[in-house]
Each structure stands twice: as structure tokens, then as C-alpha cells.
Amino acid sequence: MRKIFFATTVLFIPFMGLAQGLNFIYSFTNYSSVEGNYVEINTSIDASSIQYVKKTNGKYQAALDMTLVVYTDTLYSTAVYLEQRTILSPEIASKDNHNFASLFDVQKVVLSNGNYPFYLKIKDKNSSDKAIEVRDVININSDANAAAISDIKLVTSYTQTKTPNAFSKNGYDIYPYLFNGYGIDDKEMTFYAEFYNVDKLFGKDSPYITGVSIEDYNTLKAVQGIGKRTKAKAKSMDYILETLDISNLKKGYYNLVIEIRDSNNLLYADKKYAFIKDGNSFEQTDLTATDTYLNNITDSLLLIDDIESLYPVANKAERTFINKEARYQTTEGLRHFLYAYWASNYPDNPEEGYKAYKTRAEYVKSHFSTPERKGYYTDMGKVYLIYGAPDNIIDERFKQNSTMRTQTTSELSSDPDVIFPNEKSFTYLPYQMWRYNQTVFGETNRTFVFYAPMNDVREYRLLHSNARGEISTLFWERVLSNNILPEYTEGEAGLQFKRGY
């Protein structure tokens, strides 16, 4: 699990300097050892988002204060791990000349099976900006006697270990790649994982097979020409550090798959890691004579509308075409874009993909359009086109809140069930919560909070979500209450968010 935090927004792409303030991403990776189960907490801080100050030696350096706490209970009262440290950047000759993209921090916490609330706070020591705080949950579920594969860690780079350190694993210093997206220029994917108790399954030193492949996320079909199988001898612990060539991988959603199979090719354990491959699909795809399902559309405005509806799911190059080129294209040029897009993103049946998406886009256009913008340019429209119809919708126009529950550590520790009366009952701004039992990215129980600033219900804006890579607002319920609800307190909307109804 990994999440990206920006000072003002969250994006599903690597750091691009689009937000002001401190930008970072973190992840949890679960492993086992003779000490027991443990989680590696990986943090990557965007070097260009940090303030650098000049030192007495004439060079520049950045400094960050980090506090990381893992609790044993949801009351945030008992800590099983607490670490406060200062992270220093390398010294550089000019504060605007970074020869590195990120600062990395790795912390290892030994935990037994269970759920552990997690708190992370990072403050730029040289900036007046407020610290960014994150709360999450670490999940540990491991069987010490079963053959298993650890979480998969994507890798930025690795070198042989000279002096053991926090990044060392099995003789290598491994620096994580915490994003789950690869761009058109990314040619390789490097990853690391560990195997446990294979000897208990097959017998010590017995032959078995490790398989590595990439499969389409939606169809679960393996991508031909990528992957490998390796014969190995069963051990209590082994590992894989491998690089795959993804230069010819088309744009789309995929799973990296690692498997344990016996010599008869029977599958005993696997682990998957979902990721996105971006690309310039409409320029790379060759069309065939079967691409005729759009030939009956002769109105260029209708074709442009179909193309514009792709904006929420389009890559950078496609969005450039939509914004700057589509209106100047001939009818044939517009058809070519659509043919190529669906041939790349739905290769088994492009026409089926086009028609299914068009049905969704028509719904978005009719339900979420405003006088100012078409539905697929609104926040609700974008979420609907990416994630589909929600499984449950909470629609509150005049939600009253007469009580609130504090979330401060001291009060929760003394009496977690007490309800503290609010001196001022208040009415939330109009809002909707969309709940997804499972998203297209494999996450479960994810919710999107939309609200109407200034009580303008003509267009709801996305305020907060716990879905990976979406906007995450720390005190979202305070915003929803028109800043009446104090920080670190939970009102009735917060309880709805947790329950999902």
C-alpha cells in the first residue's frame, strides 16, 4: 500500500512540482524474518519541494523533522513504535541544482498479526509551512507455517551492500520506487520480493519454479513476451530481485505477478502488484481494416465530444491532443484518434470498449454537466468515468450536527465512548459520499466525499477520499462544517464516512 501526499492535493503520478509546499509519498511493505513479522515503512520526499539554506561552508542543505508512531489500538493511546528523527539532504552547490529526485527514509517495525494505527508527521525545518500529518492503518496477516510471498517492492535502484544499513536486504542496498505508475519513457521495471517456508511445502532442496509475469488487470490474461520462469531449490527463505523489459508494454492497467509452482506447474502461492503503464497510444497504434464502427459518425462535433469524454482517463499526450489539436482535425483525423485509443486500451474488442465507455459518458454528461462545463470535466464526472457507478450514495443537503466526538489522545484514552456536546450545533454544507466496495484498482471500501462550496449544489467538488492517489484532506470534515468543527474532532459526517452509510 502506498500513498502520495502533497501540501494541497494528491496525484496518481510521480512528483511533478504541481503543488506548493512539502511533497512526499509513503508505503508499507510486509516481510517475515527470524524475529517475526515486520513492516518496512518507506518514505520518499520530493527534493524540489524542500527549502534549502546556505551553510557556513557555502553549500546548501535541507532538513526535515519526522515523527513516526505505530499504535496498538485505535485510541492512539499506546505506542508499539515511536521514532523522531531529522532527515538531512545531501549538500549541494546551488539550492536550485538538485542531482537527486528524492530523499528516502526506511524504518523497520516488528509486529505480530493485527491492525495497527499509524501516524506520520513531517515538517520542513526551513519553511514556515505547517507540518503535514498522516493517519493510516498497517495490516499484518501472516501464517508462519505456510509457503508465502512477501509484499512486492518496486525498486528505483540497487547496489551491493558495503556497510549494512536501513536499505540493505540480502546483500543489496535497495532503494524503493513508491509510485505505481510508469511513463512512456520507462523501459524497465525492477522489483524485489521474498519467499518463505517453501521447504515446508516441497521439502528442503526440492525443485520448484518461481514465475514472474505481467497480466492485464481487467482480463487477468498474461501479456505475451514479458516474464520468465526460474528453477530453484526449496529453502526456508529465498528472494527475487529481477528486472523486466516493459518498453513495449502498451498503455493500460496491469498486475505484476509472482508465483510459486511445483515441478508439475501447479500453483501454490502468488502475489500481485497493480500498476499503470502510460503511453502515447494514439500515435503508436497501427489501425486495421476492421476499424469501421465509427464510420457512420460524420458530424465532427460528435466525434470531438467522444474524444473530450476521455479526458479523465487520458494520458498527458492524449490530453494535449484533446485540449489543443482536436478542434482543428478533420473528421478522419478524429476517427483515427478514437480508433487508436480503443485499439490500445481495449485490444480484444475495441468496439465493445468504446460503446461501454460511451454509455457511461452519456450518463455523466446528462447528470453532472453544468452551465459552465461538461460533465466529464467535473469532479463527480471524472470519478464516475474512472471508477464507475458507486455501490452506495449518501446524499445530504441539510445535514445537522448536534454532537461531536473528540479525537485527541488524552480524551480518547480517558473515555473513548464519551460524546462531547457541541456548544453550537451546525449544518454541514451540502455533500455526497460515494462508497465503492471494490475499485478498479483492487482497493476495498473506498469513499469519495463531494461537497458544494457556498451551498451551490449545481456542481459538487471532490473534498476528500481514502482511495489511493486521490485528494486526501486532513481536516475535511472541518471544511464541510464551514470551519465550525474543531481539528481532530469527528462529527456525524465523519461517522458516516467510516460506516459507509
Gap between the Cα atoms of 304 and 306, Å rounded: 5
What is the average per-residue pLDDT within 216-237? Answer: 89
Identify the CATH number of the domain defined by range 1-142: 2.60.40.10
DSSP one-letter string for 104-154: EEEEEEE--SEEEEEEEEEEETT--SPPEEEEEEEEE---TTS-EE---EE
Gap between the Cα atoms of 75 and 38, Å rounded: 22
Nearest to 43 by CA among 106, 119, 85, 89: 106
State pLDDT tens for residues 167-223: 999 999 999 988 777 887 789 999 999 999 999 999 999 999 999 999 987 778 889
Which pLDDT score, from 0 to 100, does residue 99 have?
Answer: 61
The label of the residue with cell 464516512 reads 497
pTM: 0.59
Residue 407: pLDDT above 60? Answer: no
The CATH 2.60.40.2550 portion of the chain extends over 171-279
Which pLDDT score, from 0 to 100, does residue 402 have?
Answer: 62
Which pLDDT score, from 0 to 100, does residue 412 have?
Answer: 42
Gap between the Cα atoms of 294 and 351, Å rounded: 9
Q: What is the dihedral of CA 7, 10, 11, 13, to 10 degrees?
A: 60
Task: Considering only the C-alpha atoms of the chain, give the largest distance between any 2 of them, rounded to a whole number of Å.
Answer: 72
Residue 455: pLDDT above 60? Answer: yes
Which pLDDT score, from 0 to 100, does residue 340 have?
Answer: 85
Cell matching residue 220? 487477468
The CATH 2.60.40.10 portion of the chain extends over 1-142
In this structure, are residues 191 and 152 in contact, taking their beta carbons and an 8 Å threshold?
A: yes
DSSP one-letter string for 73-105: STTS--EEEEEEEEEEPPPBSSTT--S-SEEEE
Q: Tell me the residue ranges of DSSP E strands in 293-408.
A: 392-396, 400-406
Residue 341: pLDDT above 50? Answer: yes
Task: Give residue 415's pLDDT band: very low, low, confident or very high (50, 70, 90).
Answer: very low
Task: Give residue 290's pLDDT band: very low, low, confident or very high (50, 70, 90).
Answer: low
SS (H, E, C) 188-253: EEEEEEEEECHHHHHCCCCEEEEEEEEEECCCCCEEEEEEEEEEEECCCEEEEEEEEECCCCCCEE
DSSP β-bridge partners for residue 241:
192
- Residue 190 burial by CB count (10 A; 0-12/13-18/19+): exposed, middle or buried? middle
Nearest to 22 by CA among 85, 94, 103, 95: 103
Q: What is the enclosing helix (H) or strand (E) of 300?
A: helix 300-308
Least confident residue range of 48-52, 179-183, 299-303, 446-450: 179-183
CATH classification (class only), 171-279: mainly beta
Q: What is the dihedral of CA 107, 108, 109, 110, to 10 degrees?
A: 180
The residue type of 139 is: N
Helices (H) and strands (E) in the chain, counts: 10, 28
Task: Give residue 413's pLDDT band: very low, low, confident or very high (50, 70, 90).
Answer: very low
Residues whose CB is less than 8 angstroms from the CB of residue 255 and which lie 6 or more positions away in sequence, other chains included: 214, 215, 216, 217, 220, 272, 273, 274, 275
